Chain A
Amino acid sequence: MSYHANEKGYYGEFGGAFIPEMLYPNTEELRQNYIRIMEEPSFKEEFNQLLKDYVGRPTPLYFAERLSKKYNTKIYLKREDLCHTGAHKVNNTIGQILMAKKLGKKRIIAETGAGQHGVATATVCALAGIECVVYMGEIDIARQAPNVARMKMLGAEVRPALSGSRTLKDATNEAIRDWINNPVDTHYIIGSVVGPHPYPDMVARFQSVISKEIKKQLLEKEGRENPDYIVACVGGGSNAAGAYYHYLDTPEVGIIAVEAAGKGIDTGESAATSALGKVGIIHGSKTLLMQTKDGQITEPYSISAGLDYPGVGPMHAHLFKSGRGEFISITDDEAMTAGLALCQLEGIIPAIESSHAFAILEHKKFNPSDIVVINLSGRGDKDLQNYIDYFKL
């Protein structure tokens, strides 16, 4: 059994393309071309060059000595926080902007929640000299002013999503509506392994550079390619998909997915999709999502805007359902505490999303000889105000 997508974009029972006919030509064009384009030597060369010279890859695999001592196991951090723009998101946007150029697209649209993906998209659009429109929930625009300013400085237009709950899911709806209205010249850069096929698979492939590098780096440091565990936080699931990718079909590598419990799974203010979700359709994908019993999509909550999504990518729904992945949910408080601990033990200020991944060290006991790789998906600059408010700094 493989945990990768099949040719119709299904991971087990999850995935597919549940889209209105208006989007069929757009996604079909992408579906028919994405693998071919990604495998063209000229595409690979340009992609790898930009990842190296522009993004700053390979990112280090860092042995966290003091953290390891504290938890009596061997912990390595994959330093996606050192990517240009501060998170793994840019791996995907570099790939997709090159894809858009190959497809002859003249205009880019994207959705964003906290603004990380919006900034990563605005960045690559500036790099490519292509028009960029980023949809962002009206509420998020107010909450994430620095990232809104960054996007504007980079030349993007930030359009408020005024519908529904005016957050990430609605920004995604607005981006999809824009694509319906502009089917020919526009490419939609989705920010995670969500949406209709081929997006989850395409984004996972662009992010797979993370686990490709881990394998090589671990071989150099430990004489083996495989850790015992690979840990990542899951919002939509793109940093996790990238960190797991080359280990998905290697059962001896334990996969740990960390979701945001918000104020607690049973409080009604949570984003722990595997615990609270049921199978359904969100943004064109059949997956697990948080919804009412009538199938209305509900609004999640997490202190971390990047994990505040009511669904999860179909790869992760399948990892959960099949038992291949172990899913752990972490509350706001646990994440904030773990984030501060990382600052003080290792001198690294993590994004609050990533802090969730570190909090599992308090939950799960590893053996002293275990090699645990934690994907440090992003840095905490964008979250400074949150940290300040939370810790009264």
Chain B
Amino acid sequence: MNRINQKLKEDKKLLSIYFTAGYPNLNDTAKIIHDLEKYGVDMIEIGLPFSDPLADGPTIQESSTAALRNGMHTELLFEQLRDIRKTVSIPLIVMGYFNPVFQYGVESFCKKCQEIGIDGIILPDLPLDVYQEEYKTIFKKFGLINVFLITPQTSEERIRQIDAVSDGFIYMVSSASTTGAKTGFENKTQTYFERINAMNLKNPQIVGFGISNSDTFSQATRKAKGAIIGSAFIKHLTKNGVEKIDEFVNGIR
């Protein structure tokens, strides 16, 4: 069974952390992954930086620009991850934008992910219909879970479609925003969390965007299975480098 599915079965609220590969320094990738696992994080999203990250707010944009400037690229990330499964067992997800994957070749990319032991992929700008028509069989062939996003504006009908196509979890974007944009959740966000929870989807939901501390983490996971922290962790890295990752994780739960 895919490590993501395994993890989702555990009887706890999951903490997933995103970081941009190649940031703050080009070769921090393995160290960050090791520390996140060591300090009890449940899942990791490894960001493959892109020049034009449309869905991201300033923090992740800047980390992406810096990572590219540091020299990060797809092949190098795969190189850095080559032996990662010798030492970690945490579910690993690659998150990025479609164009770099498309240039690498979707099939070659997925194959490489399988060789390394990547469990899932999140490509916000790969639309549902294109995935189904062109790429689903490839993802399946290499045992990769593709994660789709939903937002407060996503219609019920479309959520059901996404639920039907998903086989891991649904990435529930907390509000209409780019990453990192909000601090704290409004009442209407809670209403949205409850509405989705009441739909009894087959896939558990993990909330992302706007989660930055233990307060927002516990609010987000009141109904949902887990939550993803990105920008707040990037800010921690900007301030502290790859030190004190334990302090960051312990501050969340």
Report which A residues bind B (CB closer than 8 A).
16-22, 24-25, 163-164, 169-170, 173, 176-177, 180-184, 278-284, 291, 293-298
Q: A25-B153, A295-B74 are in contact. List 11 more A-B contacts (CB 8 A).
A: A20-B125, A163-B61, A163-B62, A177-B55, A177-B178, A180-B177, A284-B54, A294-B104, A295-B100, A295-B104, A296-B51
With a CB–CB cut-off of 8 A, which chain B residues contact A298?
Answer: 51
CA distance A291 to B52 in the complex (A): 11
Known A164-B52, A294-B74, A296-B68: A181·B177 in contact at CB below 8 Å: yes
CB distance from A224 to the nearest CB of B (A): 43
Whether A21 lies near B99 (C-beta < 8 A) is no
Measured between C-beta atoms, what is the minimum distance from A261 to chain B in Å?
Answer: 23
Number of interface residues of B (CB under 8 A): 41
**Is B164 located at the chain interface by the 8 A CB criterion?**
no
A280 to B99, CA, bound (A): 6
**Contacts known (A20-B125, A169-B52); A180 close to B176, Cβ less than 8 A:** yes
Q: Is B130 an interface residue (CB 8 A)?
A: yes
13 contacts between A and B (CB under 8 A): A18-B127, A19-B125, A21-B151, A24-B153, A173-B54, A180-B54, A181-B176, A280-B103, A284-B125, A291-B103, A293-B103, A294-B73, A295-B74
Chain A contacts for B98, CB-based, 8 A: 18, 281
Minimal Cβ-Cβ distance residue in A for B61: A163
Once the chains bind, are B154 and A20 in contact (CB under 8 Å)?
no
Contacts of B52 in A (CB 8 A): 164, 169-170, 173, 282-283, 297
- Nearest-neighbour CB distance to chain A for B114, whole angstroms, equals 20
Residues of chain B with a CB closer than 8 A to A183's CB:
151, 153, 176
Residues B154 and A24 in contact, CB atoms below 8 Å apart = yes
A164 to B102, CA, bound (A): 21
* In-complex Cβ contact of A21 among B58, B62, B173 (8 A): B173
Contacts of B62 in A (CB 8 A): 163
Contact among A173, A177, A182, A295 with B101 in the assembled complex (CB-CB below 8 Å): A295
Which residues does chain A contribute within 8 Å of B68, judged by CB atoms? 296
Q: In the bound complex, do residue A18 and residue B130 qualify as a contact, i.e. CB atoms below 8 Å apart?
A: yes
A21 in contact with B149 (CB, 8 Å): yes
Q: Which residue of the partner chain, among A21, A177, A184, A281, contacts B154 with CB atoms under 8 Å? A: A21
Asked if residues B99 and A19 are in contact (CB atoms below 8 Å), the reply is no
CB pair B99 A25 closer than 8 Å = no
Per-residue interface assignment for chain B, residues 87 to 108, with 1 indicating a CB less than 8 Å from any chain A CB and 0 otherwise: 0000000000111111110000
8 Å CB contact of A181 from B51, B102, B149, B181:
B181
Residues of B within 8 A of A19 (CB): 54, 125, 127
How far does the alpha carbon of A295 sit from the alpha carbon of B105 in the complex, in Å? 11
A28 to chain B minimum Cβ distance, whole angstroms, is 9
Complex: how many Å from CA A16 to CA B128?
12
Residue ID in chain A nearest B152 by CB atoms: A183
The verdict on A16 contacting B130 (CB below 8 Å), with A22-B149, A177-B178, A282-B52 known, is yes
The answer to whether A163 and B103 have CB atoms under 8 Å apart is no
Q: Tell me the residues in window 117-134 of chain B with beta carbons closer than 8 Å to chain A beta carbons.
A: 124-127, 130
List the A side residues contacting B153 at CB < 8 Å.
22, 24-25, 183-184
Please report the C-alpha to C-alpha distance between residue A170 and residue B62 in the assembled complex, in whole angstroms.
13
Query: Does B19 have its Cβ within 8 Å of any Cβ on chain A?
Result: no
With an 8 A cutoff between CB atoms, is B38 at the interface?
no
Q: Is the CB of A180 within 8 A of B103?
A: no
Q: Which of B65, B126, B150, B173 has a CB less than 8 Å from the CB of A18?
A: B126
Chain B residues numbered 43-80 whose CB sits less than 8 Å from any CB in chain A: 50-55, 57-58, 61-62, 65, 68, 73-75
Tell me, in angstroms, the Cα distance from A137 to B99 when the chains sit together. Answer: 23
Closest CB-CB distance, A284 to chain B, in whole Å?
7
